[in-house]
Amino acid sequence: MKTIHNENLAHLEDKNSENKNETIRVSLTLLDELMIYAGELVLARNQLMRLTTELSKTIPGLSNVLQDIDMTTSTIQERIMNTRMQPISLVFSRFPRLIRDMTMKNKKKIHLETSGDSVDLDKSVVESLYDPLAIVMYYLVEKDIESPEERIRANKDETANIYLKAYQEGGKVNVDIISDGAGIDTQLLLNKAIEEGLVSANDAERYGKKDIFDLLFSHNFFKNHMKLDHGEEEVGLVDARVMLEKIGGSISVDTGLANNTIINVKLPLTLVIIPSIIITVNEQNFAVPQVSLQEIVRLKVGDVEHKIEQVNDAPVLRLRNKLLPILYLHKVLGMKKEEQNDETVRIMVMKHDDNEFGLVVDEIFDHEEIVVKNIPRFFKNSLCYTGTTIMGDGSVALILDIGGIGAKGKLNFTGLKEQAGSSDDIDRRMHDDMQNLLLFENAKDQFFALNLDLIKRIEKIAKADIDLVGEKEYIEHEGKSLHVIRLEQYLPVQAPDHEDSDLYVIIPKSVENPIGIIVHRIVDSISVNTEIDSDSIMAKGLIGSALIKDDLVLFPDIFELIEMSEPEKVQKYRAKDKKKQKILLIEDTPFFRSLEKNYLESAGYSVDIAIDGMDGFKKAGQHKYDLFIVDIIMPRMDGYQFVEAIKRNPELQKIPTLALTTLSSEESKTKAFNAGFDAYEIKVHKEKLLETVESLLNK
């Protein structure tokens, strides 16, 4: 049977070679669906191989069948992945025009040379690559390349050169952008960082070359208006790093022998199926991307020559004449270590960017191809995980983020991270403003969405469980009567044509007088990045609308619905009949931006919007405000950096600042007050927000 199978494969390959020039058009949607099914096939293959490990020893011929299934599944997965691969030339071909436009603008002469155009990347990576590379090009042309006159004075050719090359290395694609310009003056860069308050003079003395180069990715360095794929905006190298990290990439800066600037970008080949190593800690499975693993070291307990030592109170291993910092995975993840009699210490030598460290784990299993699934929202704020996967035995394993593990363990990768002394800075840099929404349907083809952070729980109920008391409906919930409402009672929307025997009740959280919202069908839980339109569809009880997956979706305002359904319980925060006090709301997530603006305006305040800390700091200097309300996790300039900048400004430091965030830990609250915030509130609690706002403004 195996011989026939191989002959069939050979026949297919011969046929493919004969028809290699024939092509057809295939929908991208179909290719994406095939990729999803290929992932599910890989999961099923992994489960089958694990379940039949022992069985194959007792059934003759089963191991051959399993081998065929394994090989065929890998081939199908590889071929389908190839359909999503696109040449990086699709990105590179756009830069000659960009360079030409910039040279005309800056009156410089630049020759662009590209190589490695045939290197392939996943479609999703290619689509996200132009903007960060364009930012790098802007930086080199604006800051690194000299004018023709300056180059002649420096005995250089008046035409500068930029080399853009791609190559594959170690399971990743590297893109090098090399400029023969003036290079980077490290002392000048360090002095500017000290002047801006990013580095203290004492810390600066310990900064190496790599630490200084990393300062280029601070928000204060190199900002310029650039025309990107999604529009023109003020961006810098820090934004390029954020964009690349969202697709699993990284960026670093170095100099060559001739003092030429070398910017290296590392990219994953694909974001869907990755080879990994399965490990355990306290019998909990984790997946480690194989591309990060350099080697595995096993130490015997009691070995005098090879052992973990303490240097400056930190564990290290002497490995081939160098000190390797050591992290214990159970300590980084906050897991209690169970007593074991194992005499072997297993250390995985991991590499992130140009840094290596050892990761101590309990057990290391074989490699396995895993399908990357979205990480649950409960882990969104954790540095340590990038996603989840389903194991061969059906259990769920978290995929470790090696860079995040190093940051959480407070390893000294750069002077900037050392200065921060906390993983919060890396968490903010890796922040993704995707909105996690619950999508549901009230009447047929009438869709609504709520942010999952607003929902306490969803309960399935029978229609017969609803009791009518007067004109209000109630259900039994946690031993008490819960008032439930229907959207069509308060919003200008259709009532359902008929009611099924089973319904759903959405119960919001952080409300003083909870109610339930009856809906007819839960459609999906999705992550999207969309702007909410508050102008096209306006009605009391609605935040706005958005187009999601080609469907018009309405966003109800839970707290306004509560006020409409129980007006007798409405708190005192109504519109004030006096001169409006002006608030600057700084929030990067569109959903919360619309929600919070609605809350504040309903209480009579005048509200201006800023989309991040940098935008907020600019507006704070242009207009007069009575209060700043600031999100903490934001790109470019986060909440901590914003308030520190405000407190250094004599004209703005007296204006009260309120931190409004989803972070509820005492550590985050303490850090916020230490940074200079006057108050701290959780986003989804309307009554407490308005109460705190009124208190700050009265002071």
229-242 pLDDT, tens per residue?
656 667 788 888 88
Distance between CA atoms of 411 and 355, rounded to whole angstroms?
10
Alpha helices, DSSP H, located in 86-204? 89-92, 95-106, 123-127, 130-139, 148-153, 186-196, 201-204
Q: Which helix (H) or strand (E) holds 647?
A: helix 639-647
What digits encode the pLDDT tens for the residues 318-334? 776 677 888 889 888 88
Q: Which CATH architecture has domain 273-429?
A: Beta Barrel (2.40)
Location of each CATH 2.40.50.180 domain in the chain:
273-429, 435-569
Q: Provide the phi-psi class of 544: left if phi over 0, else alpha when psi is between -120 and 50, else beta.
A: left
pLDDT at site 414: 41
Residue 427, pLDDT > 50, answer no
Look up residue 373 and give its DSSP letter.
Answer: B
CA distance 592 to 486: 23
Banded model confidence at residue 421, pLDDT cuts 50, 70, 90 = very low
pLDDT tier at 551 (50, 70, 90 boundaries)? Answer: confident
* Mean pLDDT, range 110-120, rounded to an integer: 87
Cβ atoms of 221 and 195 closer than 8 Å: no
Residue 678 has pLDDT above 70, yes or no: yes
Answer whether 301's CB lies under 8 Å from 287's CB.
no
DSSP of 88-111: THHHHTTHHHHHHHHHHHHT--EE
Distance of CA 47 to the CA centre of its chain: 29
**pLDDT at 198 (0 to 100):** 76
In whole angstroms, give the CA distance from residue 660 to residue 585: 10
Position 304 confidence tier, pLDDT thresholds 50, 70, 90:
low
pLDDT band at 270 (very low <50, low <70, confident <90, very high): low
Percent of the chain scoring above 90 in pLDDT: 4
Look at 499 and 62; give whichever has higher pLDDT: 62
**Distance between CA 681 and CA 667 in Å, rounded?**
14
Amino acid identity, position 325:
P
Q: At residue 32, does pLDDT exceed 80?
A: no
What percent of the chain is predicted at pLDDT more than 70? 81
- How far is the C-alpha of 106 from the C-alpha of 311, rounded, in Å? 51
pLDDT surpassing 70 at residue 131? yes
> Residue 258 is encoded by which pair of tokens?
């001739």
CA pair distance 407, 426, nearest whole angstrom: 7
Tokens of 560: 């306004």
**For residue 423, what pLDDT band results from cuts at 50, 70 and 90?**
very low
Q: In the chain, what are the helix, strand and coil shares in percent, each to the nearest 5?
A: 35, 30, 35
The pLDDT of residue 584: 92
The pLDDT value recorded for residue 425 is 37
| CATH code assigned to 2-84 | 1.10.287.560
In this predicted structure, the answer to whether residue 143 has a pLDDT above a threshold of 60 is: yes
Please give the residue that has the higher pLDDT: either 1 or 41: 41
Give the orientation angle of helix 2-18 with respect to helix 62-84, to 10 degrees. Answer: 20
Q: Which of 486, 52, 406, 417 is nearest to 203 (CA)?
A: 417
Three-class secondary structure of residue 692 per DSSP? helix
Q: Where are the extended beta strands (E) located within 180-260?
A: 223-228, 231-236, 250-255
C-alpha 628/C-alpha 584 separation (Å) is 5
Q: What angle do CA 527, 333, 635 make, to 5 degrees?
A: 40
Give, in order, the Cα–Cα distances in Å from 168 to each of 173, 274, 283, 339. Answer: 4, 16, 36, 43
Q: Checking phi first, is residue 171 left (phi over 0); if not, alpha (psi -120 to 50) or beta?
A: left
Half-sphere exposure of 193 (CA within 13 A, CB side): 27
Better pLDDT: 555 or 414: 555
Match 């999705």 to its residue by tokens. Answer: 526
For the ranges 291-305, 342-356, 504-518, 609-623, the maximum mean pLDDT occurs at: 609-623
Q: What tokens does 97 get?
A: 């025009």
Q: What is the pLDDT of residue 629?
A: 92
Q: If you search the block for the tokens 């909990």, which residue do you land on?
A: 284
Q: Which is nearest to 133 in space by CA: 265, 330, 308? A: 265
- The larger pLDDT score, comparing residue 517 to residue 291, is at 517
Mean pLDDT of 295-314: 74
**In the CATH scheme, what is the code of domain 582-698?**
3.40.50.2300
Residue 619 has pLDDT above 50, yes or no: yes
DSSP 554: E
DSSP annotation of 279 reads: E
Q: Which residue has the higher pLDDT, 424 or 602?
A: 602
For 581, residues 6+ apart whose C-beta sits below 8 A from its C-beta are 605, 606, 626, 627, 697
What are the pLDDT digits (tens) for 512-525? 667 888 888 888 77
The pLDDT of residue 1 is 39
Domain with CATH 3.40.50.2300 in the chain: 582-698
Mean pLDDT of 220-226: 66
Indicate yes or no: pTM above 0.85. Answer: no
Provide the mean pLDDT of the chain.
78
Beta-carbon neighbour count of residue 342 at 10 Å?
9
pLDDT at residue 417 greater than cutoff 50: no
Task: Name the superfamily (CATH) of residues 89-268.
Answer: Histidine kinase-like ATPase, C-terminal domain (3.30.565.10)
Please indicate whether residue 469 or residue 536 has the higher confidence score (pLDDT): 469
Task: Judge whether residue 355 has pLDDT over 70.
Answer: yes
* Residues in the chain, total: 699
Is residue 571 scored above 70 in pLDDT? no
Helices (H), 421-498: 424-429, 487-490
Spatial separation of the C-alpha atoms in residues 98 and 105, rounded to whole Å = 11
Largest CA distance in the chain: 91
**153-195, pLDDT tens digit by residue?**
888 889 999 999 888 765 578 899 999 888 888 888 888 888 8
- Helices 130-139 & 237-246 angle (0-180, nearest 10): 160
pLDDT at 340: 64
Q: 376: number of CA atoms within 13 Å, CB side? A: 6
The residue written with tokens 């002959």 in the block is: 7
- Helix or strand holding residue 114 (H, E): strand 110-115
- Using DSSP's 3-state secondary structure scheme, residue 213 falls into helix
Contact in structure between 629 and 586 (CB atoms under 8 Å)? yes
Read off the pLDDT band of 14 (50, 70, 90).
low
The answer to whether the Cα torsion of 470, 473, 476, 480 is positive or negative is negative
Nearest CA among 59, 77, 58 for reference residue 69: 77
β-bridge partners, 504: 460, 519
Which of 142-151, 577-586, 597-606, 677-686 is predicted most confidently? 142-151
What distance in Å separates the CA atoms of residue 491 and residue 487, rounded to the nearest whole number? Answer: 6
CA–CA distance, 399 with 76 (Å, rounded to integer): 24
Give the pLDDT score at 167: 85
pLDDT at site 657: 92
Give CA separation, 467 vs 59, 434, 481, 489, in Å: 60, 39, 10, 17
Q: Is the pLDDT of residue 352 over 80?
A: no
Q: Which of 11-25, 155-169, 412-426, 444-458 shows the lowest per-residue confidence on average (mean pLDDT)?
A: 412-426
Max mean pLDDT among 51-55, 249-253, 420-424, 557-561 falls in 249-253
Q: Could you confirm whether domain 435-569 is CATH 2.40.50.180?
A: yes
- Residue 429 has a pLDDT of 35
